[in-house]
Amino acid sequence: MAINPNLISPCGLYCGVCAIYIAARDNNIKLKERLVNLYKGGAPDKGTLPNSDKLSIEDIHCGGCLSDDLFMHCQQCEIRSCTRASKKDRNRPDSLPGFWSVGISGKIAATS
């Protein structure tokens, strides 16, 4: 799998493997329906996503943490908000020690 640096979030998660991102990218209605069911508490012992009571398949969209098209849960991310406010997220990895970077080889590596 090729790593897209634009899909590495400020916290180090890789948005390219997120089910919300994949469902939106592929417009996979069946996956979107399953995600809505999951986040509303339809899976045993998994709980619910806060504020998911009115969640619908139209809400299952995200272009990744560095985009302006965010899933409702990602809109509330304090790490993303902090890095956007300080305008450092586009200058990663050098400006954010301890976060993730993509080396020339395309492999993800922790920065020091």
Residue carrying the six token digits 């590495």: 8
Integer Cα distance of 71 and 104 in angstroms: 30
Please compute the mean of the pLDDT values over residues 14-29 and round it to a whole number.
96
Kindly report the pTM of this predicted structure.
Answer: 0.71
pLDDT at 17: 95
Per residue in 50-75, pLDDT (tens digit) is: 888 899 999 999 999 889 999 998 88
For residue 93, cis peptide bond before it (omega within 30 degrees of 0): yes
